[in-house]
Structure 1
């Protein structure tokens, strides 16, 4: 399993690298315009998309863990049932979002803080990107299903193709056609539908296995949907709290002014890249942990968790050194605004504690997602958001102090690492240590 974990980690890191690069391309290309208004507008609009899309990322997370457990138990019927039920759920939610897009946009921008021009740019981006809702949510499901079956190479190819197209279209739509924020949004939408088409083509290769078990599959089993929704509801609450935390962080940033919002957006994109690197190990943890649980291997779970925690920390340390050493040169590539670049440099050191502590939190997330412990993740996130993050973030907002705001994000990562780490230790290591002694 150790070799499988390392192989999956490598493929996942390479695939994940292209995901934040898309957002980074949005930021960098928009930063080449004469004003940072469009970059700030996209950052503001992404607060809504975090809720709309990443709020439903449980479709990916639950599908990975449940599929891995079915594969570990060698239950092909259950694996296909999970895929079909999750796809129906994802397509339905995505279509509903699309039908309500005008109401969502009007309500969302009415409660977000930001200047008139920033909100206008954000709304342009929102209207262009929202049309990808059905494809985005179905891609979550398909990504999770292929990952759960240890097919990270498939996900790698699909992700790389889609995001390279997205980055290319960013340059064309924004710099050549001058579509600004709208161009960034429409580029993302096109790439999501392209990714969905690629996945569906690959599914045709699975048709023989599906036909073999199709008569045993119960697509509309009430019990099956209740089980799926129960797990998904816990993961959704956990994810919504995570999104709310980062949304509050960005919204408080906008209260400091558009230059602070743009600078924090640059740092946030860099943190996302680091998080996606670490998530390579975390997602591999989901697959391997789910498989080990499926075949009842508790000792394997302990070994792989130790290995993943060390791997995640080393990845985060390497990334921090890679980003912070050339930071003076790096930040000038994201914005032509000297005040924005200077602010980004001033607060760049906060990247290190956020990601180093975050590495433990991300790995524990992957572990508990893999074994489908949704309630554990939900409870940890409640404590981390309400106790470790919110009081410090509110203090930073009152003091109008961006350093305190970054301290709140660091404390939040610490809270996640502690709450999940204590549970993992008590459940999988404490009794073993007692029996040895």
Structure 2
């Protein structure tokens, strides 16, 4: 493949994912604005309900991360019958897991919400919000599966189109149901569920149309092998997600033991950090497909032009993020919040934040590459170990200085391990 075609292939598989990752938090902000228009109790209830909802579904990210590279491998090797069975199996598993998850959230919503110790009024609102929103969970997971399959088939634009459908329908329905028809927080929750029903139907219909073009039934499929692959990869990513979620929750919770200003600052810093790495995250998600396809066709990824280009692109992004955040972090904080929080940003915290983006960019890229190389066990283990390193490092530094800088030093150490181990894993046969 020529350098021009390589760059085009990377770009075409990356930009729809980048726009999707950027659009998701924007829709959440609009949702929060509608909630705040009603009253502060509704906003608090939505915040609690969303936290429980997204922490709960994050553990099912394997429906996306484990699916895309395997689909790419099967398509590149022209194993169409096995591919079609894998898609059907994943679709059924997504709906089943979604229904079980919905049932669990409905049964234990009171317990989960009580962990936040809200007022009685907020508890009632958050409970109704979580139950109504959980109804759309099977469709959320179905949409996640369908778009992941389509990315593996090199149709990443459907992920973006699906996100636009969710965003636009959610915003319109939230306003109409919550404000115009005065359903309040229940209207916001119902709007979310309906939007994922619409999006799941769209992405699944597109997938079925593409499958019909390639369908063949003349090859026997080892169903046991396919289902084993699904759960084998899923198990490792499931465990990995648990550790990563706990570590990120730890970074927030330890900040909550400091001053009110530091709690607010840590929240904003993590939001900015999440937004900063979407550029590399989009590249990493695209790499799942590109690396898997390259490995299947040409076998040797280690010495490939694709590897060199992905590394070069990540280096440019990471250096740009480091320089920009090191210079303008306090300005960004002031623009988002107020001047008092911006004044809490000292030189040490600014550099530590920038380093986390510099180092983390490569750690995130290796995630996508390892999945593309079918190294899900290594992908999982390096995140588990890095999370443990992060826990230990943060606790150690906090014993000497109970500041946000201690938490960000611990995060950086965990990312250093994740980056180094990820690099070594991807070059190992």
Q: What TM-score do the two structures reach when normalised by structure 2?
A: 0.83
Q: How has the CA–CA distance of structure 1 residues 261 and 189 changed in structure 2, closer, same or farther, with 3 Å as cutoff?
A: farther
C-alpha contact 1:388 1:415 (8 A) present in aligned 2: no
1:403 counterpart (402, 405, 418): 405
C-alpha contact 1:277 1:316 (8 A) present in aligned 2: no
Q: Distance between the aligned counterparts of 2:82 and 2:22, measured in 1?
A: 31
Map of 2:380 onto structure 1 = 378
1:417 counterpart (412, 416, 419): 419
Instruction: Give the length in aligned residue pairs.
Output: 419
Q: How has the CA–CA distance of structure 1 residues 271 and 345 changed in structure 2, closer, same or farther, with 3 Å as cutoff?
A: farther
Q: Distance between the aligned counterparts of 2:353 and 2:44, measured in 1?
A: 20
After TM superposition, give the deviation of residue 145 of structure 1 in Å: 0.3
User: Structure 1 stretch 343-352 or stretch 289-298: which is displaced more?
Assistant: 343-352
Q: Distance between the aligned counterparts of 2:297 and 2:162, measured in 1?
A: 29
Alpha carbon RMSD of aligned pairs, Å? Answer: 3.5
**Are 2:81 and 1:77 equivalent residues in the alignment?**
yes
Q: Distance between the aligned counterparts of 1:276 and 1:249, measured in 2?
A: 19
Map of 1:267 onto structure 2 = 269
1:66 counterpart (67, 70, 86): 70
Map of 1:163 onto structure 2 = 167
Give a deviation string over 1:132-157, Cα, whole Å, max 9, x none: 21011111111110000111122222
Q: How has the CA–CA distance of structure 1 residues 81 and 114 changed in structure 2, closer, same or farther, with 3 Å as cutoff?
A: same
1:98-177 → structure 2 map (5 Å cutoff): 98-110=102-114, 112-113=115-116, 115-116=118-119, 120=123, 122-123=126-127, 125-169=129-173
Unpaired segments of 5 or more residues in structure 2? none
User: Structure 1 stretch 59-68 or stretch 98-107: which is displaced more?
Assistant: 98-107
After TM superposition, give the deviation of residue 332 of structure 1 in Å: 6.8
| Partner SS for 2:374 | coil
C-alpha contact 2:143 2:204 (8 A) present in aligned 1: no
Q: How has the CA–CA distance of structure 1 residues 69 and 101 changed in structure 2, closer, same or farther, with 3 Å as cutoff?
A: same
Q: Distance between the aligned counterparts of 1:266 and 1:276, measured in 2?
A: 16
1:15 counterpart (6, 12, 20): 20
Q: Distance between the aligned counterparts of 1:158 and 1:15, measured in 2?
A: 9
C-alpha contact 1:40 1:261 (8 A) present in aligned 2: no
Q: Distance between the aligned counterparts of 1:182 and 1:95, measured in 2?
A: 20
C-alpha contact 1:13 1:277 (8 A) present in aligned 2: yes
Q: How has the CA–CA distance of structure 1 residues 204 and 321 changed in structure 2, closer, same or farther, with 3 Å as cutoff?
A: same
Q: How has the CA–CA distance of structure 1 residues 144 and 71 changed in structure 2, closer, same or farther, with 3 Å as cutoff?
A: same
C-alpha contact 2:74 2:82 (8 A) present in aligned 1: yes
User: Structure 1 stretch 55-64 or stretch 258-267: which is displaced more?
Assistant: 258-267
Q: Distance between the aligned counterparts of 2:100 and 2:401, measured in 1?
A: 41
Q: Quick one: higher RCO (CA 8 Å, sep 6+), 1 or 2?
A: 1
After TM superposition, give the deviation of residue 316 of structure 1 in Å: 4.4
1:334-349 → structure 2 map (5 Å cutoff): 338=338, 342-343=340-341, 346-347=344-345, 349=350
Map of 2:97 onto structure 1 = 93
